[in-house]
């Protein structure tokens, strides 16, 4: 039987990490009255040991902060399909519905020799509902989640993915284009 790690469990961990980021108290302040010109951007997010996701955006938006998993009504929801991006100069929303759907269906084979596995999920997301400096934002981004992990061996000393994850690491990145109205 071929070992597979299903990402629905990992996705829920990621969403909990994103939801926990609000506990850092990310503030929002507007440093300038002029909105960015728009254009291409890149972003990176790394879950921390404190349970929050630090986030940095370069290009059309040069800012940093964190994110919170929310539902379509803007309420905190670890299983929500949206992220509220909480930056220093404002906020905006990312619709992760397509990404979450891809993550729910993803699975990756386990290397039977060393019990390791890795994989990436990439899907589009829409950007909208800005506040502060990002008021009037719209656009699309491609989100990529890369995961690596090591699982323990079962009672028969085999790597089948049914036992405990001993170590895992996640990296979230992406790019896209935004404009401001």
pTM (two decimals): 0.77
The answer to the question of residue 111 being in a domain is yes
The answer to the question of residue 43 being in a domain is yes
| Domains of the chain: total | 1
Cβ(53)–Cβ(18) under 8 Å? yes
Half-sphere exposure of 115 (CA within 13 A, CB side): 17
The predicted pLDDT at position 93 comes to 96
159 lies in which domain range? 4-176
The answer to the question of residue 131 being in a domain is yes
The predicted pLDDT at position 18 comes to 41
């089948």: which residue's tokens? 160
The answer to the question of residue 155 being in a domain is yes
To which H or E segment does residue 134 belong?
A: none
The answer to the question of residue 181 being in a domain is no
Where does the chain have alpha helices with state H? 7-20, 97-105
The answer to the question of residue 110 being in a domain is yes
pLDDT per residue of the chain (181 residues) written in tens, 0 to 9: 345 555 554 444 444 334 333 333 334 444 455 778 999 999 999 865 434 578 999 999 999 999 888 899 999 888 889 999 999 999 999 999 999 999 999 999 999 999 999 999 999 999 999 999 999 999 999 999 999 999 999 888 888 777 789 999 999 999 999 999 9
What are the angstrom distances between the C-alpha of 7 and each of 16, 28, 138?
14, 33, 29
- Alpha-carbon Rg for the chain, nearest whole angstrom, is 18
């Amino acid at each position: 039987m071929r070992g597979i790690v299903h990402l629905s469990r990992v996705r829920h961990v990621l969403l909990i990490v994103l939801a926990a980021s609000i506990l850092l108290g990310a503030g929002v302040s507007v440093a300038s009255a002029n909105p960015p010109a728009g254009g291409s951007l890149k972003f990176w997010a790394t879950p921390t040991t404190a349970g929050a996701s630090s986030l940095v955006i370069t290009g059309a938006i040069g800012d940093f902060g964190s994110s919170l998993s929310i539902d379509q009504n803007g309420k905190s929801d670890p299983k929500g399909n949206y992220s509220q991006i909480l930056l220093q100069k404002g906020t905006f929303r990312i619709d992760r519905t397509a990404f979450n759907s891809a993550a729910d269906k993803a699975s990756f084979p386990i290397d039977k020799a060393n019990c390791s596995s890795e994989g990436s999920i990439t899907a589009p997301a829409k950007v909208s509902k800005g506040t502060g400096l990002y008021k009037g934002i719209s656009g699309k981004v491609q989100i990529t989640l890369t995961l690596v992990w090591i699982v323990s061996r079962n009672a028969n000393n085999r790597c089948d993915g049914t036992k405990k994850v001993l170590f895992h690491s996640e990296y979230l990145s992406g790019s896209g284009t935004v404009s401001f109205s």
